[in-house]
Amino acid sequence: MVAEVLRLRGDCEVVGFLDPRPDLHEEMVAAIPVLGDDSLLPALRKRGVNHFFVGIGGAGDNGPRARLFDLATAAGMEAVMAIHPGAMVSPSAKLGAGVTVMAGAIIGTGARLGRNVLVNSGAIVEHDCVIGDHVHVATGAHIGGTVSVGRLSHIGLGASVRQCVRIGERVLVGAGTVVVSDVPDDACVVGVPARPLRAANEEEKH
């Protein structure tokens, strides 16, 4: 999907994918060759490949996205931004390195997105939000105005976050969850309204 967005930009060429699975090496995926694994990064940099993108999402754990971003950056490459032409991004929004914004997504006035943030299809990040590094806002999620989301957090499919809420770091907001109050670091919340997952499991036992 990210490669398709970059093709639609029309100003860059995707020379290949890197993947840890040996069975994919030298295969073609979406008419793009799989060159090998991540150990090729230094050699590609020497050959003049100066940019990269992170092509994996994060289903609750954005650590792998962050590690790939840091690995390619350490190899001397620069993260390319992938903004779908069907997305709406306010001219006053500030986007960090490697931000990906998919089709139909909206980034509101004054929003600030950190490095390697993924805003998936149809998601909304409203005005004056602050989204930390390596956050994934999943498909159809809606984040109200002036919300802050800490680094490495995941806002699940179709979730909603009320305006002015603060979400900590490494938080998992489950699919369809409605967040109406602040969420601390390392929490996992689900339901309408959002509650800690442990509490939800305890209720099910009774």
Q: Is 97 a domain residue?
A: no
Give the structural domain span for 42: 2-79
Closest residue by Cα to residue 102 from 80, 90, 87: 87
> What integer best gives the mean pLDDT of the chain?
92
The answer to whether residue 84 is catalytic is no
CA angle 64, 26, 18 (to 5 degrees): 20
Band the pLDDT of 204: cuts 50, 70, 90: very low
User: Using an 8 Å Cβ cutoff, are 174 and 192 in contact?
Assistant: no
Give percent of the chain above pLDDT 90.
82
Q: Which residue has the higher pLDDT, 10 or 47?
A: 47
Query: What's residue 60's pLDDT?
Result: 76
Query: What's residue 75's pLDDT?
Result: 93
What DSSP character marks residue 87?
S
Check pLDDT > 50 for residue 202.
Answer: no
d(CA 192, CA 45): 48
Tens of pLDDT, residues 120-177 = 999 999 999 999 999 999 999 999 999 999 999 999 999 999 999 999 999 999 999 9
Q: Is 28 a domain residue?
A: yes
Check pLDDT > 60 for residue 206.
Answer: no
Window from 1-10, 43-52, 101-110, 178-187 with minimum mean pLDDT: 1-10
Closest residue by Cα to residue 137 from 62, 204, 25, 33: 62
Q: Which residues, in sequence order, are CB contacts of 37 under 8 Å at separation 6+?
A: 18, 19, 20, 22, 25
What DSSP character marks residue 170?
T
Mean pLDDT of 171-195: 96
Q: Is 12 a domain residue?
A: yes
Beta-bridged to residue 142, according to DSSP, are 124, 160
Q: Is 48 a domain residue?
A: yes
Type of residue numbered 48:
G
Q: Which residues of 78-101 are buried (b: 16+ CB within 10 A; e: fewer)?
A: ebbbbbbeebebeeebebbebbbb
Please give the tally of structural domains in the chain.
1
Q: How many CA atoms lie within 13 A of 154 on its CB side?
A: 21
Q: Which residue in the list 127, 136, 142, 154 is annotated as catalytic?
A: 127
d(CA 109, CA 54): 26
Q: Is 64 a domain residue?
A: yes
Tens of pLDDT, residues 53-71 = 998 887 778 999 999 999 9
CATH classification at residue 45: 3.40.50.20
Q: Is 150 a domain residue?
A: no
Q: Is 115 a domain residue?
A: no
Tens of pLDDT, residues 83-108 = 999 999 999 999 999 999 999 999 99
Q: Is 36 a domain residue?
A: yes
